[in-house]
Chains A and B, each alone.
Chain A
Amino acid sequence: MAPDAPRAAPVKARTSRIKDSTSYKVFTVVNMTVLVLMCAVMLYPFVMLLAQSFSSAGAINAGKVSIFPVDFNIDTYKAVADNGAFWRSYGNTVVYTVIGTTIAMVLTTTYAFVLSKKHLRGRGLLIGIAVFTMFFNGGIVPNYVLISSLGMKNTMWAVILPPALSVFNLLVMKAFFENLPTELEEAAHIDGLTWFGIFFRIVLPLSKAVIATMVLFYSVQYWNDWFAAFLYLDKTDLFPVTLFLRNLIAGASTAASEGAAASGASVSDINANIQSVTMILILIPILCVYPFVQRYFVSGIMLGSVKG
């Protein structure tokens, strides 16, 4: 073992490089400062939320909690963990996200693959149909009536199917497929692969970056969605956790119904720490997924969009 050896190398490399100009140094310092500040601004809400989730309600209401928990306790986590409705809706969200993302990926990859074939007859029309929906939609009530008459109301399909094909994602993916070398497909054809074979055995394995990106997009979309559930679901048992949270936050700010207040009720507020705990628990899965997908993330979206 020669511990000094690897350390010496970069020093050597640096000395042989041209010296950084003063303006470049200034730029770097300013750049770093701005980035660190930006980072702090982005991180602060999360840190505060985390601190709140471990603090007592009294301390939060008194505005004492910023970065570090005050009156550290995990009682709220215990209380939320005991809440059946929370876990039920959490489970719903997981189901909606997994099934929804799967369906969305099947639809998006197959549609995009078809659209990427320039020799396809009617391709313009197929693209037109998709793009049309980016600019026009039926509006809330017609959509609601449509979903109801399709019998999807109060089923998970009402939440899963309508957003299952994002045209933006479709176009990104189409552009990505168009950039794959056609020679590969031709060779596969000559070797006797069908279109399905080409798609599953050649195209998809080469598209991991864009697929990972799309999986992330779709899963975040399904994870965060509350509006579709709000519109189409009337049973609390089916609500996703986002709707549960939304209700919780609204409840905290207006729980003091004047009717109750008028008669001397001790208003049963939903405490700020319960909100924080719920938000943290909802954030965790997404936070865990991001670092793993991030390396695909930039390349995935860039590969699709820049044609070379």
Chain B
Amino acid sequence: MTTSHPFHLSQTRRSFVGLSAAAFGTLALASCGSDSGEEVDVESQNVGAMDDYAADAQFTATEPFEVSMLWTDWPEVPVEDSWRIFELIKELTNVEITLTHIPFSDATEKRSLLISAGDAPTLIPLVYTGEDAPFVSSGAVVPLSDYADKMPNFQKYIEEWELSEMINNLKQADGKYYMVPGLQEVSVPAFSLVIRKDIFEEVAGAVPNTWEEVHEGLKLIKEKYPDSVPLADGFEAQSMLNYAAHGFGTKAGWGFGDGAVEGADGKLVYAATTDEYKQLVDYFRGLVEDGLLDKESLTASNDGSGAAGVDEKFAKELCFAASGSSGTAIEFATALDATVGEGNYSITLIPPPGGPAGDMVEPRNFWHGFMLSSEITKSENFLATLQFVDWLYFNPEARDMLRWGEKDVTYTKADDGTIELDDGYSLDDYAMNAGAETDIKIDLGFSTFPAEATESRALKESYSTPEFVQYIDDVLSTRTPRDPFPPTPMDETELEQASLLATPIKDAVDTATLQFIMGERDMGEWDAFVGELEAAGVDRYLELLNTAKDRFVEANG
């Protein structure tokens, strides 16, 4: 999820005026450092802190204090300072949250500005892995790895959910990490293949388990429905390439990232130049040649919904499988209700099919977490603030509170852990108790973005549809998460060089990948394509990556 999200967003962000994009890019470097040379002694900056604070314990500040927090203002969920969530947090912890609002439209740019100008609030939430890199050199954010021992809940759940190795991969070039991610007990790919289960079972005999079976199944469906083009991707192919790539032992689409994959000798190689990538492209090219993959859907611009008319084709039975999330499956179902009729079809999200590299799916992921502004290191409440954010992000009861609200008021939790929303409250986002007077999200502020950061499997399932719970189960029981490729944290100069090189190379890859798949370019030209990448400096780029990787391995074992 973390790999795909930033790309998803950056697509829409391209519209942001070039001027400011460039300006913000360099802001971080030019920002005022806050290394004033003052000694930070977290133990003595302990006003409000609890002496006996421990994992799973309720945090209550011994003296009231304020924590300022950045809040991204979603247009459909306008934040209200009067929301019950802030009041409740104050009742529970003695901490008052004060908000700095930033509009969702340009949230990351504004965040960069605030951090760079030394004006950021203490708690900076909604930070995805890797987004701390630009702020490392400026000293504007706290190296949280130095204070991990003050966050017992964080420690406990890293251990319990076996995430400690992944935490190592968060380290920046200086060996520290500056953002603490949201922890997920289980993580499954959000996007996979949504299929008409009844048609596949009827025509192809079963739900496909591998890409080979997908190909066979689609062929049979095409025979039965000759007018159809049974497979589509409403996300400019980026989604399908992403989840398919793992089964082919490479990375592509949304998950392409820096493009580095581990080669046979342990050195990093550029994914698009490998045989695995070629094999992946060749597979989809085969689907297009057989008239099984909808070319139109690959080129229609992605408006964020990923519909690109695919839902209409589903409704008309011209398409029987497409990329999507469980939300997409619901959209398709709604469209089918109007044509085929409820009960006459069944639609489901299946685990990403396996490929030549096995039943692999994306590596386990963190979700968004937080950074702390360096200003807090000068505060007498430093220790208490660390304890507070640890409680807010990782304490099991705090997690329930962020998602469901006030125990025994808005929800009840049975002894077996089943959570039920009270009749007087709705959660429209998940179509729960529709029509009730108070919505726990819109009216009270629960179930907003902080709620999704850290989740146990039970909490995730508590609000998911039964189909999605089944999907989680299927993925976990039949698929293996790929090992993450080694991190390559770079210093400032390297980062700059690498991004200058990477952008044109990546653009060339995106264009050529689609051309090959759509049959606009002959597979015989593959070597020429690799040559183009070499001309664009892929070797120099890999050198930078490998240097960074070796340095990281040396420093961290």
A291 surroundings in chain B (CB, below 8 A): none
Question: B30–A141 contact, CB under 8 A?
Answer: yes
Q: Pick the residue among B24, B78, B190 that contacts A261 (CB under 8 A).
A: B190
- Indicate which residue in A145, A258, A270 contacts B117 across the interface (CB closer than 8 Å): A145
**A-chain residues with CB within 8 Å of residue B452 when the two chains form the complex:** 259-260
Query: B547 CB to closest chain A CB, in angstroms?
Result: 31
Which residues of the partner chain A approach B303 to less than 8 Å between Cβ atoms? 253
Measured between beta carbons, the chain A residues less than 8 angstroms from B328 are: 261
B326 interface hit (Cβ, 8 Å): yes
Q: How many A-B pairs with Cβ below 8 Å? A: 140
From B458-466, B504-512, B528-536, the one touching the partner chain is B458-466
User: For residue A250, which residue of chain B has the nearest CB?
Assistant: B105
Name which of B43-51, B68-76, B206-214 contacts chain A.
Answer: B68-76
Q: Does A167 have its Cβ within 8 Å of any Cβ on chain B?
A: no
A183, B452: Cα distance in complex, Å: 75
Contact A256–B23 (Cβ < 8 Å): no
The reply to whether B75 and A269 contact each other, CB–CB distance below 8 Å, is no
Bound-complex Cα distance A148 to B76 (A): 30
Kindly specify which of B95-103, B372-380, B382-390 makes contact with the partner chain.
B95-103
Segment of B4-12, B195-203, B354-362, B405-413 in the binding face: B4-12
Contact B101 A140 (CB under 8 A): no
User: How many residues of A are counted as interface, with CB atoms below 8 angstroms from the partner's CB atoms?
Assistant: 42
Q: In A231-254, which residues have CB < 8 Å from any B CB?
A: 231, 234-236, 239, 243-244, 246-254
Contact residues in B for A251 (Cβ distance below 8 Å): 74-76, 104-105
- CB-defined interface of A210-236 with B at 8 Å, one 1/0 digit per residue? 000000000000000001001100111
Looking at B54-62, B243-251, B425-433, B482-490, the stretch in contact with chain A turns out to be: B425-433
Residues of B within 8 A of A244 (CB): 75
B122 within 8 A of A: no
Is A258 touching B1 in the complex (CB atoms < 8 A)? yes
CA–CA, A67 and B467, complex, Å: 42
B102 & A234 in contact (Cβ 8 Å cutoff): yes
Q: Does A181 belong to the interface (CB within 8 Å)? A: no
Q: Binary interface profile of B, 80-107, with partner A (CB < 8 Å = 1, else 0)?
A: 0000000000000000000011111110
Residue of B nearest to A85 (CB): B78
Is A263 within 8 A of B468, CB to CB? yes
Chain A, range 103-152, C-beta contacts under 8 Å to B: 139-141, 144-145, 148
Residue ID in chain B nearest A246 by CB atoms: B105
B325 near A247 with CB under 8 A, answer no
B79 at the interface (CB under 8 A from A): yes
Distance (Å) between the CB of B308 and the closest chain A CB?
Answer: 11
Contacts of A269 in B (CB 8 A): 76, 305
Quick check: is A267 within 8 A (CB to CB) of the other chain?
Answer: yes
Q: Is the CB of B464 within 8 A of A263?
A: yes
Q: Is the CB of B4 within 8 A of A140?
A: no
Residues of B close to A15: CB separation below 8 A: none
Determine if B501 is an interface residue (Cβ-Cβ < 8 Å): no
Complex Cα–Cα for A258 and B255 (A)? 14
Cβ contacts under 8 Å, A270 to chain B:
75-76
B164 at the A interface (CB under 8 A): no
Determine the chain B residues whose CB is within 8 A of the CB of A259 once the complex forms: 1, 190, 367, 449, 452
CA distance in complex: A140, B30 (Å): 11
B551 CB → nearest A CB, Å: 31
Q: How far is the CA of A266 from the CA of B4 in the complex (A)?
A: 20
B395 touches A (CB below 8 Å): no
Q: Which residue in chain A gives the minimum CB-CB distance to B80?
A: A236
Whether B110 contacts A230 by the Cβ 8 Å rule is yes
A140 touches B24 (CB 8 A): yes
Would you list which residues of chain B between 1 and 46 have a CB under 8 Å from chain A?
Answer: 1, 4-5, 8-9, 12, 20, 23-24, 27, 30-31
The residues of A that contact B191 with a CB separation of less than 8 Å are 258
CA distance A249 to B90 in the complex (A): 34
Q: Is the CB of B464 within 8 A of A264?
A: yes
Complex CA gap A78/B119 in Å reads: 39
Contact A262 B190 (CB under 8 A): yes
- Contact in complex: A250, B104 (CB < 8 Å): yes
By the criterion CB–CB under 8 Å, are A264 and B326 in contact? yes
- B residues 137-158 in Cβ contact with A at 8 Å: none
Q: Which residue of A lies closest to B334 (CB)?
A: A266
Cross-interface CB contact of B428 among A227, A231, A246, A268, cutoff 8 Å: A268
* Max count, chain B CB within 10 A of own CB: residue among A144, A261, A270: A261
A265 interface residue per 8 A CB criterion:
yes
Q: For residue B110, which residues in chain A have a CB less than 8 angstroms away from its CB?
A: 230-231
Instruction: Tell me, rounded to whole Å, the shortest Cβ–Cβ distance linking B508 to chain A.
Output: 26
> In the complex, are the beta carbons of A256 and B27 less than 8 A apart?
no
How many whole Å from B118's CB to the nearest CB in chain A? 8
Known contacts A85-B78, A141-B27, A141-B116; is-contact A267 B327 (Cβ 8 Å): yes
What distance in Å separates the Cβ of A148 from its nearest Cβ neighbour in chain B? 6
For window 466-482 of chain B, which residues contact chain A by CB distance below 8 Å? 467-468
Q: B134 to nearest A CB, angstroms? A: 13
Docked complex: B397-442 residues within 8 A CB-CB of A: 428-431
Cβ–Cβ contact B31 & A141, under 8 A: yes
- B304 at interface (Cβ–Cβ under 8 A)? yes
Residues of chain B contacted by A281 (CB below 8 angstroms): none
B103 touching A239, Cβ below 8 Å: yes
Question: B351 an interface residue at 8 Å Cβ cutoff?
Answer: no
Is A140 within 8 A of B27, CB to CB?
A: yes
CB of A255 within 8 A of chain B?
A: yes
Contact residues in A for B79 (Cβ distance below 8 Å): 236
CA distance A69 to B367 in the complex (A): 43
The answer to whether A139 and B76 have CB atoms under 8 Å apart is: no
Q: Do B327 and A261 touch across chains, with their CB atoms under 8 A apart?
A: yes
- Give the nearest-CB partner of B110 in chain A: A230
Min CB distance B127 to A, Å, is: 14
Q: Is B468 touching A264 in the complex (CB atoms < 8 A)? A: yes
A158 to chain B, nearest CB (A): 13
Whether B306 is near chain A, meaning CB under 8 Å from some CB there, is: yes
* Listed residue (B75, B106, B116, B464) with the most chain A CB atoms within 10 angstroms of its CB: B75
Query: How close is A124's CB to chain B, nearest CB, in angstroms?
Result: 31
Tell me how far the C-beta of A246 lies from the nearest C-beta in chain B, rounded to whole angstroms.
5
A263 contacts B326, C-beta separation under 8 Å:
yes
Q: Which residues of A contact B24 (CB under 8 A)?
A: 140
B188 contact set on A, CB distance < 8 A: 262
Q: List 13 other contacts, CB 8 Å, given A148-B119, A231-B110, A269-B76.
A: A144-B117, A148-B117, A236-B78, A243-B105, A244-B75, A247-B75, A250-B12, A250-B105, A250-B106, A256-B305, A261-B328, A264-B467, A267-B305
11 contacts between A and B (CB under 8 A): A140-B20, A145-B118, A243-B105, A250-B103, A254-B304, A258-B191, A266-B327, A268-B76, A268-B428, A269-B76, A270-B75
Across the A-B interface, the 10 shortest Cβ-Cβ residue pairs: A250-B105, A251-B75, A262-B190, A261-B325, A264-B465, A261-B327, A253-B304, A264-B326, A247-B103, A234-B100
Q: Which residues of B contact A (CB under 8 A)?
A: 1, 4-5, 8-9, 12, 20, 23-24, 27, 30-31, 73-76, 78-79, 100-106, 110, 113, 116-119, 188, 190-191, 303-307, 312, 325-328, 330, 367, 428-431, 449, 452, 460, 463-465, 467-468
